[in-house]
Structures are given as C-alpha cells and as structure tokens.
Amino acid sequence: MQTLLLWLFYLSSFYAFIPGLITRIFGFRVFRRGVGKHEFALTFDDGPDPVYTPMLLDLLKRYDMKATFFLVGSHAEKHPDVVRRIHAEGHLIGIHNYVHKTNWLMRPKTVRMQLKRTDDIIYNTTGEHPSFYRPPWGIVNLFDFAKNSGYRIVLWSSMFGDWRSKIGSDKLAKRMLRKLNPGEVMLLHDCGNTMGANADAPEQMLIALEQVLDEAKLRNLRSVRIDEMIKLDKKSNNVKISLLKRFVVSLWLLWEKAFHVLFRLETVSRNDPMLHFRARPYQGKTVVMDDGSRLEKGDQVLELHFDNKKLFHIGSRSRSEMQLAIQMIRAVQKDLPTLANMVIERPEYKDVKGLYGVTMISRGPEQFGFHVQDLPSGLFASSTRIYLKILLSVIHPKGQSRLKQGSQMLEPKLLMMPVDVLIERYAEKPSRPYHAVDKDRVDEQEISNLPVTGTSQGLSS
C-alpha cells in the first residue's frame, strides 16, 4: 500500500504539481504580467452573469476601458446576448472551461472537450474563435503544455479575493489600488455562481472597481485587453527577461552537473565538451533502422546528451537560427570520430548495438547516418516535449518567441544509429574509411528552418 501511495504521489506531482511550479516560477507558456508606461489589464473570470456583467460593461464603457473576459462555457451558452455585447463593445473573450472545474481532476481528453465545446459556443455567438485560455484557479496539468491546444494560457499578477462578499468594497478597493501599476494583470470576477464564491460578491467588486477606475484616470492609466498587453510586452526590451534567463540557465547547469554525477556520464572530448554519453540497455519498442538492422529492448546502446553549457554559449553568440544550427552540426561532426574510436578500443562497449537519443531537430540528422522516427506517444513523450521546449526557449537566439512560430515542427524525435554505421562512417582507421560529411560544408537548405535544442536528463539532440 505504501508503494502504491508513493507512486500515486509521484504521478500526481508530475501531472499537476510540477507543471504548476513551472508556470509560477519560469512563466513557461503562460502570460502573467506585462509591461507598459500607462497600461494595465483588467481580466474577469466565471461570467457571463445576466445581472452583473451588463453592469460591468456599462462601467467600463463610461471610463473608456477595455478588459478581457474568460467565460465559463455553460454560462455563455445560457446568456448569448451578454456574450455578443462583450464582443461588440471591443473587449477580448477567452475560455475558462465549459464548467468551472480544476484541470487536476480531469483527464486530458476531458479538458480538450471542455475547450472545444466552449470554443464552439463563443464562435457561434460572436463569429470569432478565442485564442486565450485561463484554467480555473489557474491550475494547469502536464497536457495543457504537451498537447499544444493552440490557446495561449493567461494567468495573473494580482488577485484580491473578490469572490467573497464579506471583504467589502472599501477593503477590496484598497487592495486593488495598491496593485494599480503599469503592466499589472488583475484578476476579478463578474459572476458569483461558482463553487466557493458568493452570489452577490460581484456587487462589491463593481463598487470597488469604480474607485479604482477613478484613480486610474487621475494617474493617466488605462486598462487594455490581454492581446494588446502581450504586443506591448514583445516590443519592450525589459531587462528582467535577461535576468530571468540567467537565473534559469544557472539552475539548469547546476542540475546538469548533478545529473552527470548521478548517472556517470562520460564526455567525448573533455577539452571542448559537446557530447556526453552513457551505456545502458535500450528500453523502447523494437526499431528497424534504415540499413535493416534491429534495435530491440535490452540491447546495449550509448545514450547521447548535448552539453547544455556549450549549447547556451553557442546560442548566445549566434545571430540567427541558421548560425546556431551550423555551429551545433560542426560540433557534432568533431565528436563523432572520437566516439567511434572509443567504441572500437574499449572492451566495455563491445556489445553496444548503436547510438540512441531524443531531439527537437526535425530535419538534418539523416546526413550524419542517424535513423529518425517519431517518439511513441505516452508520458515520456509528453514530459520530453515540455523539457525540450523549456530548454529551447533558453538557448535559442529568439528565445520563447521561437516556441510560438511553427509549433507543429517542435516535436521530439528518436535518433538512432547502428554501431556499424558509426564505425564505418566515422572511425579513423585505415580499414574503416571515414565518410563523414565534409567538415567545411554544411547543407544550409537542410538546416535553415531547424528547431534546434539539446538536452540532459536522459535525452539528447
């Protein structure tokens, strides 16, 4: 029983707690706070409400403010006229699930159905598909990232407990005024008909909001839609982003050092490390490679890992994605002959059947002799996708913006190479001619659009 409970704890942590931690600490794939000189964002959850939402719209119109409404699909279905008015008056509409239920307690398929059903309701009412999603209570699960639903997840930078009517409008206004700053994303509620809320709470919120909007006018501040704030965020050269990146990189490299010690990774070239590896039994499904050889469960393989410190340095010096890809390919070319000779010379590798790894490079590795195939769907594939996308956002010259371009290309692939191919192509032996790609020529057409990344944690690029 203790073992079962322990496994349940591990699975629940991986499914729910860790993704939540990633969103809160690193802001991965979520928008929480913007930048701006005079702009802040009012966001409203749980509506529409047939009484309070029209009153809110009247208030916003009077002050010429725009907001973002994350609608509960079942409420929107009951009150389409209110939804149409929100849209007609220029506010942004997002999804808040069909019913107000946490994603931690729903299967991935159920979450996707909730999104689809609410999307259809909003589209049929307004003629526009929503692009933004706020999960109830801001709780995300693993598959909110892995399945790439196409919606941008929006959280918040401040909330005020306005779902409870006992807070009172004066106390609520004081809390909101303390957070009335440019870039702030405020979470409020225009409907009290959800679990844990008071039905009349929006009445106090509206009284408090009027005081806040009066103050905003005096300070020359204006509320904008989330999509406008995201555009402002992209244009800004906020130094906090670079500080955050340095912090993330430091944590990542610290973890990589621990991983190398724990799993006893070897380095191909210690003077200029790029590839690390370890020998281990292959645990995946049987693979038939391009030369007809088979890799089966239990076969010995060398599991490859990129050096993340080297990747970060290459990425920080690269002016473009192509330049990053070329430098990575040349670094791999340099290490493969050394690795081939190590396999030949060291008796502990005599039973190795091939090289194995996981990559985000969707095209190009074939020219090195690798067999490429899709990663089988499952928990490992989902966690790998998350891990590699986080790493890509750190080492890529375009940072997180690359994740939003052609995201269908950013899928992890299995890379495998039979050991005979490794030796034939790369071993520097008279009887084994070296047929590697010309070191002074890299096919730029093959790599011009590569999504490039490297990994640790039992993965490689």
CB 353 within 8 A of CB 418: yes
Please name the residues in contact with 136: beta carbons below 8 A apart, sequence gap of 6 or more.
45, 96, 97, 100, 101, 102, 103
Using alpha carbons, select from 341, 310, 316, 340 the residue that is nearest to residue 328: 310
- Spacing of C-alpha 316 from chain mean position: 20
Task: State the virtual CA torsion across 382, 387, 389, 394 in degrees, nearest 10.
Answer: 170
Residue 191 has phi, psi (to 5 degrees) of -145, 135
Q: Are 415 and 367 in contact (CB under 8 A)?
A: no
Among the listed residues 91, 96, 189, 305, the single catalytic one is 189
Contact 169, 207 (CB under 8 A): yes
Which is catalytic among the residues 45, 46, 299, 307? Answer: 45
- Whether 371 is catalytic is no
End-to-end CA, the chain: 39
Distance CA 406, CA 428 (A): 39
Cα–Cα distance, 78 to 320 (Å, whole number): 50
CA trace torsion 334, 339, 340, 345 (10° rounding): 140
Nearest alpha-carbon partner for 268 in 304, 293, 240: 304
Q: What is the 3-state composition of the chain as percent helix, strand, coil, each rounded to the nearest 5?
A: 50, 15, 35
Q: What are the tokens at 398?
A: 């375009």
- As a whole number of angstroms, the distance between CA 228 and CA 225 comes to 5
Contacts for 209-217: CB closer than 8 Å, 24+ residues apart: 209/42, 209/56, 209/59, 209/176, 210/59, 211/169, 211/173, 211/177, 212/173, 212/176, 212/177, 212/180, 213/59, 213/63, 213/65, 215/177, 215/180, 216/40, 216/63, 216/65, 216/180, 217/63
Query: DSSP states of 31-55 as a string?
Result: E-----SSEEEEEEES---TTHHHH
Q: Which two tokens stand for residue 269?
A: 């070239």
Question: 3-class SS at 113?
Answer: helix
Active site residue 45: yes
| 284 DSSP 8-state letter | S
Q: At what angle do helices 239-262 and 379-395 cross, to 10 degrees?
A: 130
Strands 275-281 and 300-306: antiparallel
Residues tagged active-site: 45, 189
